[in-house]
């Protein structure tokens, strides 16, 4: 079946795509038409099938049914190399880079014939040309593993462009970026589109999508439920399509007056932290949090905020200085899959994981089961039972589970890193509500988020990390934004 | 001292040659993310393949037989490890057993249980003009059977290929992060297949060298653990072609020292001398420091 | 819904039976071809195999289980390490260290009638210490344990070779072995008239203990957490990962050392060079085929014990050579891997 | 005891030409069953290969049913001794001194089976040990080596340090010293019996040290020693265990031979004839089981005077009056009295 709209002006068209993984029907006849020279936002909740659809478009998976048309011609990809050759590039949410190799080598990967020479200096020159042409600054000789996240993302885009991509697919590109980086990226994408090429942007952020996109497509449960020009719709309409119901999302929360307990719960005094190579990531930092307040920490990637949070959570021993912490500190790390849960374990075992370091004697599994079940109920985790495997849960439910675990037993302090990263609208709200509830119960909460809007919507007080130092700033967007880039 | 040095260097190079072939093969396998503990089986298969072919077609073609036999065993390993995504270590153990067992069985089928002493044609040393008369090292490096000179081609080629060609780049990417390679349009499975077949060819060459360039005969245990030593050499050489060659020479030197110690009657218990190479590797590993050069996906199934 | 489930399950049994049958057919087919090519009697070969492994009470108790003892213990050692994320392939060396230590204690004559009470703990300690070298190298220098433990196997092998010709050699200083142990240093037999010794009971008990440890104890949970996700264990559980890895090394080495002590006091009653035909390597297969489950290792231990006992009978009674036996063992392992694959594939297809 | 053995052997040898038919009726009536356990592969053309040839000769000459197994560990030795005993084998031969502990342990359980170890000194009602006077021909080889050596250095290369190998090397050194008191003897062990390449390197190291005659006793690994000699100039090898003169005829002086098949036949006949006597059976030059076999392809390598001298010493050995020098005798395990 070929979509009626799939003509020559359509850069990429996906018709009636279906894909099943095991018992999960990830896509169920979804369609997408992207006009050439437009920025097309692909919206949907977690698990709606956005990423799957784009992986099919990029040849990383083969569809069970459906047709892919590029410039009106039917295509069938065997591997993503075919898609690349046809001018489709993709920037993945989880970067697909080789950390041990240089920028130039990463760009050179998969290019050229079997035995054609690859000259790093030559590719470095190519990269410099690309950098000059695109304005995406990056050092071709740097080792990728040493680069900050923003630079890695620029590299991913450069990689796609180095194949002369006419259609660029980006999967949640702003999730890891600071506000400034996000603005830069959007501006760049706009210029890219204006030069006659095409962008597909996968995102959760409805407002942003409506601001910068030309067209919007919404997926729900593997089907296309809305395909419309951005100017022809509104936030409420999109949200209804997205969630399948009306919602009050987006209404600003009434800011309650600050009501801290006045008692300092968490404090760091003159703390310095060095990384493996001896570089100071935190430079003699002093700050504190009181019970009953949410301290928001802002900062661009690598400014020292993660080290600060880890010292506060007791996950990192400072090289000099001291930290005063209560006995119980809940901690939600940024990288959930790596640092918070074990995918092949049950929820009960994952619940017990928090005690792994200090447990002695035998494990009372019945007790852990009861506690896990209580936690699951408390945070509305959607699981059939506490005996489920962790990786059977969606990302949002996994995150809610981690919150439940870390909030259990009334911790006096709660430290969270980017808690809503990668979550959909509904799950994000639930997570933030949980933080507010904890604050209201008198817990000292510390949150770092790369999303400034989110930070302002939950925090009572905001500090900014800049180059390893911490600054108290007024509760003001402009002040925070300036402090993040080192302007006082 | 000088008259003892030249033979010592020669023994070093001779002992190192089969180890270097096998270790360079293992290097490529490990760079693609596969740890091939079945190398021992590949070497002995190469030794036997070399014997069979050389018996009818001469030493030169014997090496072709050795390479083919090594690749055959490696193909079985690759089928299980790459295609069936089986565990590397358990498959490798089985492949070692299979190589040793099947060569022993076939040897009996071909040559009988108590067959007459086998003598296979061997490659004569081919001194390279001028170079072979360099004092101390000329004999060791430039008056060897021609197969040894292959190393002079393979090592720089491999070093160049791994850093300067798209194939080498693909190989390293697959060993470091297969999903990144897949996203770049490279099939990790195909790369691993090729890497393992190369490893098999080199293992076969190693066995062929033992039989057709050094010993001139075959016996059932002739590989004598070289597959395992080669794995150590790859680690010691920090996963680079030049480093691996250096480590092979170091192993060769340790063995040569052991031969010398016994011939000179230095009175060290010979078990200590034999254990020396392994202790040396452990010491060198400890000295190499924390930053490992190991491919990130080494030994990961799938 | 129910009808659909019923139809799939009937289809299923077919689908489920077919791959194992195919794989078995291929393995048996290759074996038959090799036997025929070697001019051996097929029926005699197979019946010898059956006789030697399970064919009689003697075959089972005295051949299969006696061989299964070191394989089970070492399989448990390997499984403990692997489940904790430690790739200890040095069980062979730790086995030899344990055997040497137990022998040394027995030969000093300490403890009189209770010498085993000292000798076996000494074996445990020696195995743990031998493993600790690799563990220490990993903790201090980040040395890959796969390599270091493999290297240590060779060092241990030469160490035993030295010991039986040096400090531990029998009194006449002629033979490269130790004196035979007295009855006090011999593990009691479990069944009269059979060779099965207490060591096997220890192995089974240890399997139960490890199963319980992983399932129910905090230590086991910690080991498991580090094996399944070291970063998560460190971050969410505040587990001292390097210390736990080192502990896993010590425990694994201790069990392997015990296996060595059990072998000299239960079977050989003396230390010899070449006391292990590569038990430590076969144990990797034993552990992995049991999917690192301690209880299942009892089964895979018996399986490999039977394989070796049956293979010996094939040599004796059917004249099938030793080298061929290695081929059979390799084919069986590869066959099981292939079966595993068909099962996994079946699981993901569903 | 020793004299007794020799007498018995004499009778057994005398009956050898009579064929199996004469002996059979004396036995239990049915064909005997003989089993052989070797510690290494029977394709080594040396220690293990010789034993297998012996087993086949028992099969062909006596119509025995035979079985062979290659075993690796002491645990397996014992297990297979038991299995053979349980299956009613008449004779079970463990080919090496390392089998004696297993024989001591299993022998009493199966009194109807005769356990024989080649090497060692363990004896029981149904246990005997074959003790090869391997030192005698080794001594002769040492004499020849000293006479042939131009450099005054000769070498010995063994697989691992086993008692029979050590005693043979000691006798070789004694023989060499008897001819040339200034001769140097260097000894090396490869560490295993398989690594032919390492065997070759050991030989090359000794050649580099000046050795020009090398006595090898390393089974399969020893094949590398022959290769080293072939590549060297003026280097000679002495083979061992089996007749190895045809492995590298141009560079081999001769072989220190154990006629294992002969020895096995002697014992098999004795058991079949119901005349088994538990003892250490010393098989020496006199019984013609061990002997020095010069290489017929290189008759002129050994000076005529030395050939004559070797012959005369060999005659002394054959008549049983030769006395080994004390240094060599001390290293000989079989001279320790039978327990």
Count of structural domains within chain B? 1
pLDDT single digits (tens) D256-267: 999 999 999 989
Q: Closest Cα of chain D to C315: distance in Å?
A: 6
Pick from B111, B216, B259: CB nearest D227: B216
Q: In what order do the strands lie in the sheet with D153-158?
A: D184-189, D153-158, D213-217, D236-241, D252-258, D290-294
- Per-residue pLDDT band for A7 (boundaries 50, 70, 90) equals low
Pick from A341, A356, A363: CB nearest C239: A356
Residues of CATH 3.40.50.300 domain(s) within chain A?
Answer: 10-243, 248-328+410-488
How many contacts does B have with C, using Cβ atoms within 8 A? 145
Residue B133 lies in a domain: no
Residue C43 token pair:
């029926």
Rg (Cα) of chain C, in Å, rounded? 22
User: Of A121-135, C191-205, D10-24, which range is least confident?
Assistant: D10-24
Pick from B167, B180, B187: CB nearest A98: B180
Q: Do D227 and B214 touch (CB under 8 A)?
A: yes
Angle of CA points A228, A233, A238, to nearest 5°: 85
Q: What is the pLDDT of residue B1?
A: 45
Q: Give the nearest chain B residue to C135 (CA atoms).
A: B286
pLDDT single digits (tens) A290-344: 999 999 998 876 788 989 999 999 988 999 999 998 988 999 998 888 899 998 8
Closest CA to B215 of D165, D240, D203, D42: D203
Mean pLDDT score, D106-132: 92
pLDDT single digits (tens) A129-183: 888 887 788 888 888 888 877 788 888 888 888 888 899 999 888 766 767 778 8
Q: How many CB atoms lie within 10 A of CB A279?
A: 9
Q: What is the pLDDT of residue A137?
A: 82
Contacts of D235 (CB under 8 A, 6+ apart): D207, D211, D212, D213, D214, D228, D229, D251
Chains linked to A by 3 or more Cβ pairs within 8 Å = B, C
Q: What is the pLDDT of residue C4?
A: 40
Q: What is the pLDDT of residue A312?
A: 94
Contact C161, B271 (CB under 8 A): yes
Whether the pLDDT of residue D118 is over 80: the answer is yes
Chains linked to C by 3 or more Cβ pairs within 8 Å = A, B, D
> Tens digit of pLDDT per residue, chain C (350 long)?
333 444 444 445 666 677 778 878 888 888 888 888 878 888 988 899 899 999 998 899 999 999 999 999 999 999 999 999 998 989 999 999 999 999 999 999 888 888 999 999 999 999 999 999 999 998 888 887 888 898 899 899 999 999 998 899 988 888 889 999 999 999 999 988 888 999 999 999 999 999 999 999 999 999 999 999 999 999 998 999 999 999 999 999 999 999 999 999 999 999 998 899 889 988 988 898 888 999 999 999 999 999 889 989 988 998 888 788 788 878 888 888 888 777 766 554 43
Pick from B89, B272, B279: CB nearest C284: B89
Q: Using CB atoms within 10 Å of the CB of residue D6, give its burial: 0 to 12 exposed, 13 to 18 middle, 19+ buried.
A: middle
Q: What is the pLDDT of residue B125?
A: 85
Closest CA to D125 of D141, D110, D146, D142: D110
Q: Do A109 and B296 touch (CB under 8 A)?
A: no
Which range among A1-5, A292-296, B117-121, C91-95 has the greatest average pLDDT? C91-95
Pick from A22, A338, A362: CB nearest C232: A338
Spatial distance between the Cα atoms of B243 and B285, rounded to a whole number of angstroms:
13
Whether the pLDDT of residue B113 is over 80: the answer is no
Q: What is the pLDDT of residue A12?
A: 92
Q: Is the Cβ of B224 closer than 8 Å to some Cβ of chain D?
A: yes
Strand A413-417 and strand A329-332: pairing? Answer: parallel
DSSP bridge pairs for D156:
D187, D215
Q: Give the nearest chain C residue to A336 (CA atoms).
A: C232
Q: What is the pLDDT of residue D25?
A: 34
Domain span at residue B17 reads 2-116+145-289
DSSP secondary structure string for all residues of chain B: -HHHHHHHHHHHHHHHHHHHHHHHHHHHHHHTT---TTHHHHHHHHHHHHHHHHHHHHHHHHHHHHHHHHHHHHHHHHIIIIIS---HHHHHHHHHHHHHHHHHHHHHHHH-TTPPPP----PPP-PPTTGGGSTTTHHHHHSS-HHHHHHHHHHHHHHHHHHHBHHHHHHHHHHH-HHHHHHTT--HHHHHHHHHHHHHHHHHHHHHHIIIIIISS--TTTTTTHHHHHHHHHHHTTT-HHHHHHHHHHHHHHHHHHHHHHHTT----HHHHHHHHHHHHHHHHHHT-S-----TTTT---
Q: Using CB atoms within 10 Å of the CB of residue A251, give its burial: 0 to 12 exposed, 13 to 18 middle, 19+ buried.
A: exposed
User: Of A225-234, B116-125, D171-180, which range is least confident?
Assistant: B116-125
Q: Do B166 and A112 touch (CB under 8 A)?
A: yes
* Contacts B210 to D, Cβ<8 Å: 196-197
Our answer on whether A and D touch (3+ beta-carbon pairs < 8 Å) is: no
Domain residue limits, chain C: 67-276
Spatial distance between the Cα atoms of B256 and B276, rounded to a whole number of angstroms:
11
* Contacts D43 to C, Cβ<8 Å: none
Residue C166 token pair:
């040096």
Q: Give the nearest chain A residue to B293 (CA atoms).
A: A100
Q: Which of residues 136-175 of C touch B (CB under 8 A)?
A: 137, 140-144, 146-148, 150-152, 154-155, 158-159, 161-162, 165-166
Contact B41, B281 (CB under 8 A): no
* Contacts B271 to D, Cβ<8 Å: 191
User: Which residues of chain C are at the A interface, by a Cβ-Cβ cutoff of 8 Å?
Assistant: 216-218, 221-222, 225, 228-229, 231-240, 348, 350
Closest CA to C129 of C101, C150, C105: C101
Q: Closest Cα of chain A to B238: distance in Å?
A: 14
Pick from B97, B108, B269: CB nearest C330: B97
Whether the pLDDT of residue A59 is over 80: the answer is yes
- Residue D64 three-state SS: coil
Which range among A185-199, A333-347, C116-130, D217-231 has the greatest average pLDDT? C116-130
Contact A235, A216 (CB under 8 A): no
Whether the pLDDT of residue A4 is over 60: the answer is no
- Which carries the bigger pLDDT value, residue B248 or residue C5? B248
Q: What is the pLDDT of residue D172?
A: 96
Q: Do D220 and B260 touch (CB under 8 A)?
A: no
Q: Do D205 and B108 touch (CB under 8 A)?
A: no
A10-243: which CATH number, 3.90.1300.10, 3.30.70.980, 3.30.565.10, 3.40.50.300? 3.40.50.300
Contact B185, A84 (CB under 8 A): yes
Average pLDDT, chain B: 87
Residue B137 lies in a domain: no
Contacts of A55 (CB under 8 A, 6+ apart): A61
Whether the pLDDT of residue B242 is over 80: the answer is yes
Whether the pLDDT of residue A444 is over 90: the answer is yes
Residue A32 token pair:
């997408």
Spatial distance between the Cα atoms of C251 and C80, rounded to a whole number of angstroms:
8
Strand D280-283 and strand D127-132: pairing? Answer: parallel
* Contacts D120 to C, Cβ<8 Å: 175
Q: Closest Cα of chain A to C291: distance in Å?
A: 14
Give residue for tokens 């399986």. Answer: C303
Q: What is the pLDDT of residue B90?
A: 83
Mutate to test the interface with D, among C268, C276, C306 (most CBs of D within 10 A): C268
Contact C237, A382 (CB under 8 A): no
- Per-residue pLDDT band for D141 (boundaries 50, 70, 90) equals very high
Mean pLDDT score, D190-194: 89
* CATH superfamily entry for domain A248-328+410-488: P-loop containing nucleotide triphosphate hydrolases (3.40.50.300)
Our answer on whether D and B touch (3+ beta-carbon pairs < 8 Å) is: yes
Q: Using CB atoms within 10 Å of the CB of residue B49, give its burial: 0 to 12 exposed, 13 to 18 middle, 19+ buried.
A: buried
- Per-residue pLDDT band for A118 (boundaries 50, 70, 90) equals low
Q: Give the nearest chain D residue to C179 (CA atoms).
A: D101
Whether the pLDDT of residue B15 is over 90: the answer is yes
Q: Is the Cβ of D161 closer than 8 Å to some Cβ of chain C?
A: yes
Q: Closest Cα of chain D to C142: distance in Å?
A: 31
User: Which residues of chain A are at the B interface, by a Cβ-Cβ cutoff of 8 Å?
Assistant: 60, 79-82, 84, 90, 92, 96-101, 105-106, 108-120, 159
- Which carries the bigger pLDDT value, residue A422 or residue B241? B241
Closest CA to A70 of A154, A131, A130, A2: A2
Q: Give the nearest chain B residue to C158 (CA atoms).
A: B271
Whether the pLDDT of residue D135 is over 80: the answer is yes
Residue D152 token pair:
């005054």
Spatial distance between the Cα atoms of A448 and A465, rounded to a whole number of angstroms:
10
How many contacts does A have with B, using Cβ atoms within 8 A? 84
- Which carries the bigger pLDDT value, residue B184 or residue C180? C180
Q: Do C282 and B93 touch (CB under 8 A)?
A: yes
Q: Do C337 and B86 touch (CB under 8 A)?
A: yes
pLDDT single digits (tens) D56-84: 999 999 999 999 999 988 889 999 999 99
Its pTM stands at 0.84
Q: What is the pLDDT of residue B288?
A: 67
Alpha helices in chain D (DSSP H): 2-14, 20-23, 47-62, 74-86, 100-106, 135-148, 163-179, 196-209, 223-231, 260-272, 304-318, 326-330
């Amino acid at each position: 079946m070929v979509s009626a709209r799939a003509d020559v002006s359509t850069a990429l068209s996906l018709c009636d795509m279906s894909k099943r993984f095991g018992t999960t029907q990830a896509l169920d006849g979804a369609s997408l038409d992207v006009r050439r020279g437009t920025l097309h936002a692909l919206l949907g909740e977690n698990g709606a099938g956005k990423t799957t659809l784009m992986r099919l478009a990029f040849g990383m998976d083969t569809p069970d049914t459906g047709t892919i048309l590029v410039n009106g011609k039917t295509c069938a990809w065997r591997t993503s190399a075919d898609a690349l050759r046809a001018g489709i590039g993709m920037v993945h949410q989880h970067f697909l880079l080789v950390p041990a190799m240089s920028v130039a080598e990463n760009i050179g990967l998969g290019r050229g014939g079997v035995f054609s020479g690859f000259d790093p200096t030559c590719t470095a020159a190519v990269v410099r040309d690309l950098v000059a042409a695109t304005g995406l600054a990056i050092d071709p000789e740097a080792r990728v593993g040493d680069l900050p996240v923003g630079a890695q993302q620029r590299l991913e885009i450069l990689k796609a462009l180095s194949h002369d991509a006419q259609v660029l697919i980006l999967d949640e590109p702003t999730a890891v970026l600071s506000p400034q980086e996000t603005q830069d990226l959007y501006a760049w994408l706009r210029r890219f589109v204006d030069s006659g090429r095409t962008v597909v942007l996968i995102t959760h952020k409805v407002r942003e999508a409506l601001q910068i996109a030309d067209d919007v497509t919404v997926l729900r449960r593997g089907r296309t439920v809305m395909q419309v020009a951005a100017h022809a719709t509104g936030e409420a309409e999109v949200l209804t399509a997205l969630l399948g119901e009306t919602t009050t999302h987006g209404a600003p929360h009434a800011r309650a007056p600050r009501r801290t307990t006045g008692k300092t719960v968490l404090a760091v005094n003159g703390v310095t932290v060095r990384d493996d190579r001896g570089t100071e990531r935190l430079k003699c930092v002093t700050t504190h949090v009181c019970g009953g307040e949410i301290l928001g920490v802002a900062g661009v990637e690598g400014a020292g905020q993660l080290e600060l949070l880890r010292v506060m959570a007791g996950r990192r021993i400072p090289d000099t200085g001291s930290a005063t912490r209560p006995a119980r500190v809940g901690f939600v790390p940024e990288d959930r899959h790596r640092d918070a849960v074990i995918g092949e374990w049950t929820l009960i075992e994952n619940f017990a994981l928090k005690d792994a370091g200090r447990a002695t004697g035998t494990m009372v599994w019945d007790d852990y089961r009861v506690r896990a079940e209580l936690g699951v109920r408390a945070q509305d985790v959607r699981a059939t039972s506490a005996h489920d495997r962790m990786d059977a849960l969606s990302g949002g439910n996994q995150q809610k589970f981690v919150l439940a675990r870390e909030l259990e037993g009334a911790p006096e302090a709660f430290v969270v890193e980017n808690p809503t990263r990668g979550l959909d609208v509904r799950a994000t709200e639930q997570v933030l509500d949980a933080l507010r509830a904890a604050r209201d119960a008198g817990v000292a909460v510390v949150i770092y988020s790369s999303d400034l809007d989110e930070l302002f919507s939950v925090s009572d007080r905001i500090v900014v990390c800049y180059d390893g130092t911490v600054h108290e700033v007024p509760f003001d967007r402009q002040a925070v934004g300036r402090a993040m880039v080192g302007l006082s | 001292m000088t008259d003892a040095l030249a033979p010592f260097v020669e023994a070093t190079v001779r002992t190192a040659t089969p180890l270097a072939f096998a270790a360079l093969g293992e290097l490529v396998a490990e760079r693609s993310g596969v740890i091939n503990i079945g190398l021992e089986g590949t070497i002995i298969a190469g030794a036997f393949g070399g014997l069979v072919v050389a018996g009818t077609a001469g030493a030169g073609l014997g090496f072709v037989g050795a390479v083919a036999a090594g690749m055959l065993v490696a193909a079985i390993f690759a089928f299980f490890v790459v295609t069936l995504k089986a565990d590397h270590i358990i498959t490798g153990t089985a492949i070692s057993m299979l190589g040793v067992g099947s060569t022993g069985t076939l040897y009996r089928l071909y040559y009988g249980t108590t067959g007459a002493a086998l003598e296979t044609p061997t490659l004569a040393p081919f001194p390279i003009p001028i170079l072979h008369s360099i004092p101390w090292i000329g004999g060791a490096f430039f008056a060897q059977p021609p197969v040894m000179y292959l190393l002079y081609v393979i090592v720089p080629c491999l070093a160049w290929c791994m850093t300067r060609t798209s194939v080498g780049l693909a190989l390293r990417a697959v060993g470091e992060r297969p999903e990144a390679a897949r996203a770049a349009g490279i099939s990790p499975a195909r790369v691993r297949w090729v890497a393992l077949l190369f490893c098999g060819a080199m293992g076969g060459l190693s066995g062929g060298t033992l039989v057709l360039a050094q010993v001139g005969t075959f016996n059932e245990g002739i590989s004598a653990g070289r597959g395992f030593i080669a794995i150590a050499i790859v680690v010691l050489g920090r996963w680079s072609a030049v480093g691996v060659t250096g480590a092979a020479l170091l192993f060769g030197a340790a063995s040569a020292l052991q031969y010398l110690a016994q011939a000179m009657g230095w009175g060290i218990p010979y078990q200590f001398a034999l254990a020396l190479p392994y202790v040396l590797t452990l010491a060198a590993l400890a000295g190499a420091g924390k930053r490992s050069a190991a491919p990130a996906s080494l030994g990961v199934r799938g | 819904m129910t009808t659909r489930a019923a139809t799939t399950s009937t289809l299923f049994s077919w689908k489920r039976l077919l791959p194992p049958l195919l794989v078995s057919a291929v393995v048996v087919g290759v074996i038959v071809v090799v036997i025929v090519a070697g001019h051996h009697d097929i029926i005699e070969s197979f019946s010898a195999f059956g006789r030697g492994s399970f064919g009689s009470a003697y075959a089972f108790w005295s051949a299969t289980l006696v061989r299964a003892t070191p394989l089970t213990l070492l399989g448990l050692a390997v499984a403990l390490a692997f489940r904790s994320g430690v790739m200890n392939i040095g069980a062979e060396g730790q086995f030899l260290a344990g055997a040497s230590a137990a022998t040394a204690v027995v030969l000093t004559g300490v403890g009189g009638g209770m010498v085993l009470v000292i000798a076996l703990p000494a074996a445990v300690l020696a195995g743990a210490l031998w493993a600790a070298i690799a563990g220490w190298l990993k903790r201090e220098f980040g040395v890959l344990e796969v390599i270091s433990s493999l290297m240590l196997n060779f060092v241990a092998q030469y160490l035993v070779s030295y010991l039986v010709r040096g400090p531990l050699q029998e009194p006449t200083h002629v033979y490269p072995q130790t004196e035979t142990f007295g009855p006090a240093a011999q593990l009691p037999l479990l069944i009269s008239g059979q060779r099965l010794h207490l060591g096997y009971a220890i192995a089974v008990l240890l399997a139960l203990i490890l199963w319980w440890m992983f399932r129910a104890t905090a230590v086991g949970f910690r080991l498991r957490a580090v094996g399944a996700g070291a970063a998560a264990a460190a971050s969410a559980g505040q587990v001292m990962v390097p210390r736990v890895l080192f502990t896993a090394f010590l425990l694994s080495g201790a069990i392997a050392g015990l296996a060595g002590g059990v072998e000299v006091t239960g079977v050989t009653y003396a230390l010899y060079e070449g006391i292990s035909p590569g038990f430590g390597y076969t144990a990797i297969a034993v552990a992995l085929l049991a999917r690192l489950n301690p209880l299942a290792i009892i089964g895979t231990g018996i399986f490999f014990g039977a394989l070796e006992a049956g293979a010996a009978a094939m040599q004796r009674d059917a004249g099938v050579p030793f080298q061929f036996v290695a081929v059979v063992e390799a084919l069986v392992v590869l066959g099981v891997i292939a079966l595993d694959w068909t099962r996994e594939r079946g699981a993901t297809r569903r | 005891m020793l004299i007794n053995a020799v007498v018995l052997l004499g009778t057994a040898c005398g009956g050898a030409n009579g064929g199996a038919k004469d002996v059979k009726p004396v036995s239990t009536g049915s064909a005997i069953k003989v089993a052989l356990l070797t510690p290494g592969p029977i394709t080594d053309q040396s220690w293990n290969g010789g034993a297998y040839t012996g087993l086949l000769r028992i099969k062909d000459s006596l119509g025995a049913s035979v079985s062979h197994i290659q075993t690796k560990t002491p645990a397996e030795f014992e297990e297979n001794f038991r299995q053979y005993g349980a299956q009613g084998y008449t004779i079970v031969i463990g080919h090496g001194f390392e089998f004696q502990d297993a024989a001591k342990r299993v022998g009493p359980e199966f009194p109807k089976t005769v356990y024989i170890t080649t090497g060692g000194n363990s004896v029981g009602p149904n246990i005997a040990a074959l003790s090869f006077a391997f030192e005698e021909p080794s001594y002769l080889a040492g004499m020849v080596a000293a006479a042939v050596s131009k450099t005054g250095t000769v070498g010995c290369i063994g697989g691992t340090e086993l008692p029979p190998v050590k005693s043979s090397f000691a006798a070789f050194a004694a023989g060499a010293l008897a001819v040339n008191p200034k001769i140097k003897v260097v000894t090396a062990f490869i560490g295993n019996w398989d690594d032919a390449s390492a065997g070759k390197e050991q030989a090359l190291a000794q050649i580099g040290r000046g050795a020009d005659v090398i006595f090898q006793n390393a089974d399969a690994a020893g094949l590398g020693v022959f290769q080293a000699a072939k590549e060297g100039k003026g280097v000679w090898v002495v083979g061992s265990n089996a007749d190895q003169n045809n492995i590298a005829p141009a560079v081999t002086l001769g072989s220190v031979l154990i006629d294992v098949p002969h020895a096995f036949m002697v014992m098999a006949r004795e058991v079949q004839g119901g005349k088994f006597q538990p003892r250490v059976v010393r098989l020496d030059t006199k019984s013609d089981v061990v002997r020095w076999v010069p290489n017929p392809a290189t008759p002129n390598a050994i000076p005529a005077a030395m050939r004559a001298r070797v012959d005369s010493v060999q005659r002394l050995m054959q008549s049983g009056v030769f006395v080994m020098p004390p240094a060599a005798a001390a290293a000989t395990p079989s001279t320790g009295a039978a327990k």
